[in-house]
Amino acid sequence: MAHLQGDLAKVLIEREIKPSYHRIRIYRYLVENRTHPTVEQIYSDLQKELPTLSKATIYNTLKLFSDKGIAKTMTIEEKEARYDIVEENHGHFKCKECGDIYDFKIDIDDLGTGDLNGFKIDQKDVYFKGICRGCQ
Amino acid sequence: MAHLQGDLAKVLIEREIKPSYHRIRIYRYLVENRTHPTVEQIYSDLQKELPTLSKATIYNTLKLFSDKGIAKTMTIEEKEARYDIVEENHGHFKCKECGDIYDFKIDIDDLGTGDLNGFKIDQKDVYFKGICRGCQ
DNA sequence: TTCCGTTTTGTAATGATTACAATTCTATAA
DNA sequence: TTATAGAATTGTAATCATTACAAAACGGAA
């Protein structure tokens, strides 16, 4: 436990992220709080110990983490909702480059319901992200 | 084709949606444009033919359609992004009632890559929605 | 036609996110 | 140790999708 900060710093360095103090603390927060926190939550919790922390830093840092692959955003990365006629058995692929969204066939019901016993599942969505053929 | 409006109206009535003219036109737009349109796109396209159409109506109507199950929103219904440490093989279940998000085990790589030949897939996300055990 | 409830409109408010310039920090070299 | 350059952080203002809400328009029943 004594080397926690150091261990975390190592992870950042491996991913080519300079381990500044704030970055380490934000990363540590994510590791210790597996609760899908919002920026707001991260901010209000960490501010108790880091009074000068600003939201802008959190946004910057999370964006950096996402780019480097050690954290990810849980929305499909849209601030604008998009709408769809209800239709079964397809997933959505979003190209990071051109932003286009492609449908692809997938049997979503093949997905087991995992360990969701007793849960009522109304909707199943599968989202992939990457680079489409045309943008490679 | 002559009865298009009427056919669409029937679908709405089946779902207990009073088929007002604007509602039919918005539904028709979704049926004819399988392009995951945004509210902005729906608005600017439909406005050419329906000059008095307002965005508020589109928001209202899409919300109604979603509630009645004939359309769906393609985001996980959050305006606030949530963050996650990168970790493999779990999906996210969001309870519509309490808003909590649960992880569940799933082998996402079991999902075939569908017909995405030549696409580079960086990230695969599975989102379920419904009612959790505690809220039933 | 009149009336009532529903739908639609327009605008103002909200709230997350981004942009950006100014400030602070950090590591390295003199 | 001090100076300096580049990176990180801050704070605030701007942006933009979405929601709230009251007023107006609409539509069907009597």
Nucleotide nearest to B79 (CA to C1'): C16
Q: What is the CA radius of gyration of chain A?
A: 19
B85 assigned to some structural domain: no
A128 assigned to some structural domain: yes
Per residue in A52-91, pLDDT (tens digit) is 999 999 999 999 999 998 998 888 778 888 988 887 778 8
Counting the structural domains of chain B, the total is 2
- Give pLDDT, residue A6: 74
- At B60, list the tokens: 């209202």
Per residue in B114-130, pLDDT (tens digit) is 688 899 998 888 999 88
> Which residues of chain A have a CB within 8 Å of the CB of B124?
126-128
> Terminal CA-to-CA distance of chain A, rounded, Å?
44
Higher-pLDDT residue of B33, B99: B33
Neighbouring C-alpha atoms within 13 Å toward the C-beta of B4 = 9
Closest Cα in chain B to A86: B71
Q: Find the CB nearest A93 among B93, B101, B116.
A: B116
Answer yes or no: do A44 and A11 share one domain. Answer: yes
CATH number at residue B119: 3.30.1490
Average pLDDT, chain B: 89
B81 assigned to some structural domain: no
Cα dihedral across residues B38, B39, B43, B46: positive or negative: positive
Answer yes or no: do B24 and B63 share one domain. Answer: yes
From first to last of the 136 residues of chain A, give the pLDDT tens digit. 446 677 899 999 999 999 999 999 999 999 999 989 999 999 999 999 999 999 999 999 999 999 998 998 888 778 888 988 887 778 899 988 888 899 998 887 777 676 888 999 988 889 998 899 998 8
CATH number at residue B59: 1.10.10.10
Q: Where are the alpha helices (DSSP H) in B15-104?
A: 21-32, 39-47, 55-68
Domain containing A51 equals 4-68
B84 assigned to some structural domain: no
B36 assigned to some structural domain: yes
A78 assigned to some structural domain: no
A40 assigned to some structural domain: yes
Answer yes or no: do B53 and B101 share one domain. Answer: no
